[in-house]
Amino acid sequence: MTTSGRVRRAWIIPLVAAASSFAPRFSHAGPPQDTTHVCIAAFDDGQRLRTDGKLRAAHDKLVICSQRECPAVLREDCAGVLREVEAATPTIVLSAADRDGHDLTDVEVTLEGKSLTSHLDGRALSVDPGKLALEFTKKPWAPVKMEIVVREGDKNRPVKALLGPPKEMADDRQDGKPDTPPRSFVAWAVPVGFGIVGVGAVAFATATRIRIGNEADDLRGTCAPDCAQADRDRLSSDLVAANIGFGVGIGCIALAVASWFILAPRPVVRANGNGVALAW
């Protein structure tokens, strides 16, 4: 309890005690109780809660001792403290939107695990000062959690949450369409280049082998077994070139196939964005 609260209580209690025998009783308080004692207890509890920073609970207690049933001298002092608590109690204005910017109203918000509201209507809500743990929930999306710090006297502070994935991501998941970027120039040029070289080399080797076979048949029919050594060496060199051409061609074709798949664009894997919290 603050010093001013102790001073107030010190002079209030003797004054109101004298009038306690004339005070009416609360009809809603269950078993009969002395009205003055109830008012004093509410005033005392309200100031203690105020000191502890529990302004909402203090407000509820101070409302009790501000009623007409309480002695006038206590009621007046209690009402003054109530006005101070109301001025110090911070308020926040909650809002939520989907990732395309559309406002949402059917969102449940909890504060420290307890329900604060189940409908966002733009009205200010009273909270205690300090660090607050809020959670916004709208099915079937995952909840969005955030922590904010509010100060005494803050009024109408906006707190906004973004819920759910972007619309285009939701549409892609519903339609089953992969989000694949187009093939790049390099992804086209490399396999096509290898393919052209490979096919050309195989074609050259095949044509060379056919020519060598025809020339060998001619030599066998005209000069075998006394054909010139130069003709034999030439055919042997051409055969080596044809074999190399086959090897190069087959290798390039294999590289063309491999690079086609290696350089193929990959589908974009998007995170399942269930929400991002923003607070100002």
Q: Residue 109 falls within a domain, yes or no?
A: yes
Q: Are residues 245 and 232 in the same domain?
A: yes
Q: List the beta bridge partners of residue 110.
A: 115, 135
Average pLDDT score over the chain: 81
Lookup: tokens for 187? 């992804």
Q: Are residues 83 and 98 in the same domain?
A: no
Residue 169 contacts residue 175 (beta carbons within 8 Å): no
Q: Are residues 101 and 168 in the same domain?
A: yes
Residue 56 contacts residue 128 (beta carbons within 8 Å): yes
When pLDDT is averaged across residues 221-243 and rounded to a whole number, the result is 81
Total Cβ atoms within 10 A of residue 121: 9
pLDDT in the model for residue 168: 57
- Residue 243's domain comprises 185-262
Q: Residue 280 falls within a domain, yes or no?
A: no
pLDDT in the model for residue 153: 94
pLDDT in the model for residue 274: 46
> Residue 244: is its pLDDT beyond 50?
yes
Look at residues 255, 157, 258 and name the one whose alpha carbon lies nearest to residue 198: 255
Please state the domain count of the chain: 3
Look at residues 19, 21, 81, 25 and name the one whose alpha carbon lies nearest to residue 55: 81
Q: Are residues 47 and 14 in the same domain?
A: yes
* Range name among 83-97, 105-119, 173-187, 266-280 with the lowest pLDDT average: 266-280
> Residue 151: is its pLDDT beyond 70?
yes
Q: Residue 241 falls within a domain, yes or no?
A: yes
Percentage of the chain lying above the pLDDT 90 cut = 48
> Residue 107: is its pLDDT beyond 70?
yes
Lookup: tokens for 73? 């001298």
Identify the helix (H) or strand (E) that includes residue 81: helix 72-88
When pLDDT is averaged across residues 88-111 and rounded to a whole number, the result is 93
pLDDT in the model for residue 178: 56
For 174-214, how does the pLDDT look when each residue is reduced to its tens digit (9 = 90+)? 445 556 778 888 888 888 998 999 899 899 989 988 988 88
Percentage of the chain lying above the pLDDT 70 cut = 78
pLDDT in the model for residue 26: 42
Q: Are residues 15 and 64 in the same domain?
A: yes
* Range name among 16-30, 113-127, 158-172 with the lowest pLDDT average: 16-30
